[in-house]
Amino acid sequence: MTCSPLSRRTVRVARFLIVTLIVGGVATGIVMPAKASKPVVEGKVRTLASLARRGWLRSVQTPMASEMVGFDWAGRMPGTIEVRVEDAKGWTDWSTIDGFPAEGPDSTSKEAHNRTSAGPVWIGHGVRQVQVRVADGDLGDLRLHAIHTGSTGSSGPAQAHAAVSQPGIISRAQWGADESWRSYASGCNGSPDYADGVRYAIVHHTDNSNSYSASDSASIVRGIYYFHTHTNGWCDIGYNFLVDAYGQVFEGRWGGITSAVIGAHAGGFNTNSTGVAVIGNFQSTALPGPAYGALRGLLAWKLGYHHVNANSVIQVVAGDFNGSKYPAGTTISVPTISAHRDVDETDCPGDVAYGELGQLRVDVQHDIEAAAWNKPAVVRSNVWFLRRSMTPGPADITFVYGDPGDLKIMCDWNGDGVRTPGVYRNGVFFLRNSNTSGPADVVFPFGQAGDIPVCGDWDGDHVETVGVVRDQVTRTVVAVTAAKMWYLRNRNSAGPADGTFAYGNVGDRPFVGDWDGNSFPTPGVRRGYTWYLRNSNSGGIANGTFNYGDSSDTPIPGNWNDDPYDTLGITRGGAWFIRDANASGNADFVFPYGNSGDVPLIWR
């Protein structure tokens, strides 16, 4: 499988170079797919036997032309069913479907019911004839559920961003979810339950046939949703996300893809986890490359968003569930990317896929860390040139935004993990939430003409907000004082400052960075070629002082490597000089990007 980590960029040199490079690129955009009509999904149930033991066999005509079938039986006990269908070539090979009590809601959940289900499994288009046999278990009140998944409409990603951030996710509306089903089962009111956060991910496979096309995937998701709500009696599809063999990612349980929605995918361990199911069976088959890549990208975004180290081990407490490996109340250690079999009595997500999770943890954590690395951007007049690596080369993204005389900044204004443009004009901020040309998404006044704009996540809510820095001279009858005043706001809207303090002298060049690696940006100023960094948003003395660069250089500190710290950077002409430590010394690596006179910025 060719899913190696992103290569670490850098050619390191210990001296300053002066190089000029003209950047260029082609502006790109995303065209959303046309909204498809909602498919009609229906299902019918047929009782097969009051008791079916190992070896039981029956030929069955489905109640209607079907694309998926599933089974359920009384009680919370495991069983294995085999099914095959008759097509134009005769009977297909047998497909095995395991039913484990392990997959489902916690026993104390409103979704819990005293039945066990197996499936649903994809059987093809318009199937009527199936054969069913019991391979294991004593299955009382065995029922077949035939599902017609509706016509497959167009489905495209709901959203996509540059770099390692939110992947394209096919929304519930796009794959055809009937939202009334969230209130179908007894006790379900259509509202999700939320945990206080996401701490880990649990990987599943759907135990479905691997013989499906990319255009079948939305139908499969609809069928699983129908089965979970109409057969299992759950309040929604059990998984938070689903990934198919072709790299498509589907939104699962309703409630918000960035939220800590409690699913019904791993009994006793649904709270604080996000469940991702790969469509298919990976007991003896490796994850296809596109599926692995999509799973990797999804987990890097989701776990990164919730500040989870993907290659770590945490302690969790088992909930009440009779299919769990652990009694309720037991504290266990689990990887932050776990398999379903790590917590419940099941072989999910299959032996081969289970063996791939070690590399997946490494890859996902690498992507999370790489997403935190800053990348270079320059603005020339009002044209923005963004590059996705700290290397020479043409711009990857080019667009027009603002006026030539505006002050330019970049921050993550909406908390989606991507820094996008903002301009400051005569005391008014104009913020845009995508790296494309177009009007501002948010406009508001803050500060006054002559202020210098800054931005950062001052309060730790994952959204970066604005601030301004002002040279302020105060005269009294006793003395004249001059200071650099900082005014920080915790919302991107008009209103008073949430934090105000003095730091630096009049004439210093202000900037912000996370100097101590605690995820909170704090002030810095440069006076001549001396840098003064402070580790709190308050007045006081510098926590670090050192010399770097020349007084005429433009300071551009950022996160340039694998550690959590922001460190020094400057631009001179068209060259960037990056240092991996907050200390005096030579540049650790140098690369050309932009022209003399460009405004340098950083993004991620």
Span 538-547, pLDDT tens digits: 999 999 999 9
Neighbours of 481 (CB within 10 A): 12
Among 169, 146, 5, 2, smallest CA distance to 85 is for 146
Highest-pLDDT range among 8-12, 362-366, 451-455: 451-455
Q: Are strands 200-205 and 79-87 parallel, antiparallel or unpaired?
A: unpaired
Residue 111 has pLDDT above 90, yes or no: no
Of 132-141, 147-156, 464-473, where does mean pLDDT reach its minimum?
147-156
Higher pLDDT, 59 or 598: 598
Alpha-carbon torsion angle 92, 98, 103, 107, nearest 10: 130
Using CA atoms, how far apart are residues 386 and 161, in angstroms rounded to an integer? 13
Q: Residue 323: what pLDDT?
A: 79
Q: What is the mean pLDDT of residues 281-286?
A: 95
* CB-based burial, 66-99: b 16+ in 10 Å, e otherwise: bbbbbbbbeebbbbbbbbbbeeeeeebeebebbb
The arrangement of strands across the sheet holding 544-547 comes to 509-513, 522-527, 530-533, 544-547
Q: What SS3 string covers 532-554?
A: EECCCCCCCCCCEEEECCCCCCE
| Whether 24 contacts 378, CB under 8 Å | no
Q: What is the mean pLDDT of residues 128-147?
A: 89
Among 447, 454, 532, smallest CA distance to 494 is for 447
Provide the token pair at 284: 């003896």
Provide the token pair at 493: 């809207």
Instruction: Give backbone dihedrals phi and psi of 551, rounded to 5 degrees, phi first.
Output: -65, -25
Residue 583 has pLDDT above 60, yes or no: yes
Summarised one tens digit per residue, pLDDT across range 411-428 is 999 987 789 999 999 999
Higher pLDDT, 42 or 75: 75
Q: What is the mean pLDDT of residues 80-84?
A: 89
Place of tokens 């005389």: 405
Q: Residue 151: what pLDDT?
A: 56
The 8-class DSSP code of residue 194 comes to B
Q: Residue 93: what pLDDT?
A: 85
Share of the chain above pLDDT 70, in %: 89
Highest-pLDDT range among 369-373, 499-503, 563-567: 499-503
Q: What is the mean pLDDT of residues 527-547?
A: 95
Q: What is the mean pLDDT of residues 326-343?
A: 95
Using CA atoms, how far apart are residues 203 and 442, in angstroms rounded to an integer? 38
Highest-pLDDT range among 15-19, 46-50, 123-127, 158-162: 46-50
**Which of the four pLDDT bands, split at 50, 70 and 90, describes residue 163?**
very low
Q: Residue 101: what pLDDT?
A: 67
Residue 36 has pLDDT above 50, yes or no: no
pTM of the model: 0.59
Alpha-carbon torsion angle 60, 65, 67, 73, nearest 10: -40
The 8-class DSSP code of residue 222 comes to H
Residue 313 has pLDDT above 90, yes or no: yes
**In 431-524, which residue ranges form alpha helices assigned H by DSSP?**
none
**In 306-377, which residue ranges form alpha helices assigned H by DSSP?**
351-355, 357-372
| Whether 537 contacts 522, CB under 8 Å | yes
Positive or negative CA dihedral for 448, 453, 459, 463? positive
Region of 197 please: left (phi>0), alpha (psi -120 to 50) or beta. Answer: left
Of 30-34, 220-224, 404-408, where does mean pLDDT reach its minimum?
30-34
Residue 295 has pLDDT above 80, yes or no: yes
Q: Residue 474: what pLDDT?
A: 75
Helix (H, G, I), strand (E, B) or coil at 251: strand
- Average pLDDT score over the chain: 86
Using CA atoms, how far apart are residues 115 and 97, in angstroms rounded to an integer? 16
Among 306, 147, 304, 315, smallest CA distance to 222 is for 147
Residue 15 has pLDDT above 60, yes or no: no
**Which of the four pLDDT bands, split at 50, 70 and 90, describes residue 165?**
low
Higher pLDDT, 109 or 295: 295
**Which of the four pLDDT bands, split at 50, 70 and 90, describes residue 102?**
low
Place of tokens 């912000």: 512
CA dist list (Å): 68 to 116, 168, 194, 230, 293: 18, 26, 30, 14, 27
